[in-house]
Chains A and B, each alone.
Chain A
Amino acid sequence: MNAYVVTVATLVAIQSIVACGLNVVVGYAGQISLGHAAFFGIGAYASALLTTKAGLTFWTALPLVIAITGLVGLLLGIPSLRVRDDFLAITTIGINFIVEAVFLYVPFFGGALGIGGIPRVTFFHVKMKGLPYLYLCLAFLALVLLVCRWFTRSWAGLACFALREDETAAASMGISPVRFKLLAFVLGTAMAGLGGALYAHFMRFISAGDFSFPVSVMLLSMVVLGGMGTLWGPTLGAVILVSLPELFRPLLEIRFLIYTLLLLLMIRFQPGGLLGEASLVRRVFSRLMPGKEAPR
């Protein structure tokens, strides 16, 4: 594999991890978040600072990074998740802008210059770059997918599905709306934190713009395109949305426009996403391979 393909594939794997986290919030729990890039950024900055300023290694920093991101998710989630669903979209956009502004204007976070000199990940004294780092990211993606699968099969996950469908009915069955929405939010933001850490040590230089609002829109587009609430949807969405602009270079400049358009089109014509219930892909798949089911 040439270096360029490896680079793109690594970005796909990282974005998949972050999109999986968003899927827990949006797809499983039905909470529209338009600020997920903020938590991606918090993970990246936390790992960058802990390794450059505090001198930790990637591996010792990682549990802290995930905990920090999840904790910030918890603190921001408590007030946000109490508001009505449509306000949540607005609130999360606000969170995204505030977090980006903090990165940009607070000197501790490197200001406009961002943070550079982020060390590579080492694994048994071997510096991981290129293909090995891709494998590392894929391994973490596999872990995240396993966690997602476990979650959908746990009572907690079922509680989130019920809340997504009808909060009043769910509450009448013993489900605390706040507890389980928060759980989904914390789980989703922790995954974003993991993705952020992998991103920071891959790019080795990060700045506030990497985690701006359009990135949140892109992440949401991935989830909606692939199929909200499905297991593989976010990964499929990330594969398509990260690699397409790379294949058609002219698209790169207007890719955020494309993401937004795609988001609107999908919601209008294929709300279930590519892997969702009764989707085009699913119908074609069952036509081509009768008796088998497309992955979800």
Chain B
Amino acid sequence: MKKVLLSVRDLAKHFGGLRAVDGVSFDLHEREILGLLGPNGAGKTVCFNLISGVYTPTAGEIHFAGIRSDGLPPHRMAALGLGRTFQIVKPFSNLTVLDNVIVACGVDRYRSLARSFGGWTGAAVRKKAVELLERVGLADEADRKAGLLPLGHLRRLEIARALAVGYRLILLDESFSGLREEEIAPLMDLVARIRQDGISVLLIEHNMRVAMKLSDRIVVLDHGRKIAEGLPGEVARDPLVIEAYLGRGGSSRVA
């Protein structure tokens, strides 16, 4: 049996009367790529925000890397090796693309004040950041202001920053949306290779072709509840899933 890296137990998040996440449980193993799917408003992004510490759960538990992690703030989760992207991209607009990545490379430096007094302008850090930009194919844009990049580039910048932080787990929230067709294949290769470095991936993706191909297993949410879990092939044939995506009667999109 592979070791469990992230375990989510009966997780719930309510916003007033809205049950955005309502009793969801699943495990993510080391070196696994787990797809988190579901129609719009299913609660996927809220799940990410719970796991990464942006929200505290209304109920339930999260265990990450051997510790109980629900309630820890985002910067503590980052220090535990959890990197994430944002569905609505959040670049540091007035910093260069390279400096955006360098910020993420400093994740260990922000843990104590004393360590944060060291300099960030050294060659070693720069080299590491350039390598990350090369991995996502943004090296040519290194010196541009991040705010000037088109959306497709920003999605890849988000991935580069997440890679710098997440040495255990990376959460990708619709990282493939807004990309041009020819940008998708190299990025799929990148995600597949992340696992080879011993990192797990939790993936929210609306592009079914991408999700089915990349994921080892898939969890499907609808209205905040888990309606299916299994291998990509099984899940795609699950009548509950087909109904959630298409309403009664359809069958064309999930295939």
Which stretch of B104-112, B132-140, B207-215, B236-244 is in the interface?
B104-112
Give residues 172-199 of A contacting B (CB, 8 Å).
172-177, 179-180, 183
Q: How far is the CB of B54 from chain A (nearest CB, A)?
A: 7
CA distance A34 to B90 in the complex (A): 27
Q: Mark A101-139, 1 if CB is under 8 A from B, else 0.
A: 000000000000000000000000000000000000000
CA distance A237 to B191 in the complex (A): 49
**Chain A residues within an 8 Å CB radius of B68:** none
| Nearest residue, chain B, Cβ from A160 | B116
Q: How far is the CB of A85 from chain B (nearest CB, A)?
A: 16
A side interface size, CB within 8 A: 25
Q: How far is the CB of A67 from chain B (nearest CB, A)?
A: 16
Q: How far is the CB of A76 from chain B (nearest CB, A)?
A: 19
| Nearest residue, chain A, Cβ from B165 | A173
Question: Quick check: is B86 within 8 A (CB to CB) of the other chain?
Answer: yes
Q: Mark B48-89, 1 if CB is under 8 A from A, else 0.
A: 000010100000000000000000011101110001101000
Question: Quick check: is A168 within 8 A (CB to CB) of the other chain?
Answer: yes
Question: Quick check: is A156 within 8 A (CB to CB) of the other chain?
Answer: yes
| Nearest residue, chain A, Cβ from B77 | A172
Question: Quick check: is B17 within 8 A (CB to CB) of the other chain?
Answer: no
| Nearest residue, chain B, Cβ from A162 | B103
Question: Quick check: is B247 within 8 A (CB to CB) of the other chain?
Answer: no
Does B118 contact A172, Cβ atoms closer than 8 Å?
no
Does A176 contact B117, Cβ atoms closer than 8 Å?
no
Does B92 contact A166, Cβ atoms closer than 8 Å?
yes
**Chain A residues within an 8 Å CB radius of B54:** 168, 171-172
Contact partner of B73 (CB less than 8 A), chosen from A155, A173, A176, A277, is A176
Q: How far is the CB of A45 from chain B (nearest CB, A)?
A: 28
Contact partner of A168 (CB less than 8 A), chosen from B74, B102, B115, B120, is B74
Does B165 contact A174, Cβ atoms closer than 8 Å?
yes
Q: How far is the CB of A199 from chain B (nearest CB, A)?
A: 29
CA distance A56 to B95 in the complex (A): 46
Does A153 contact B110, Cβ atoms closer than 8 Å?
no
Known: A153-B120, A176-B110. Contact between A169 and B75, CB under 8 A?
A: no
Does B92 contact A165, Cβ atoms closer than 8 Å?
yes
Which residues of B are in contact with A by a Cβ distance under 8 Å?
A: 52, 54, 73-75, 77-79, 83-84, 86, 90-95, 99, 102-104, 106-111, 113, 115-121, 161, 164-165
Closest 4 CB pairs of A and B: A165-B92, A174-B107, A169-B90, A174-B78
Q: A159-B106, A165-B92 are in contact. List 20 more A-B contacts (CB 8 A).
A: A155-B119, A155-B120, A157-B120, A161-B95, A162-B95, A162-B103, A165-B91, A166-B92, A168-B86, A170-B92, A171-B74, A172-B75, A173-B75, A173-B110, A174-B78, A174-B110, A175-B103, A176-B110, A177-B75, A277-B94
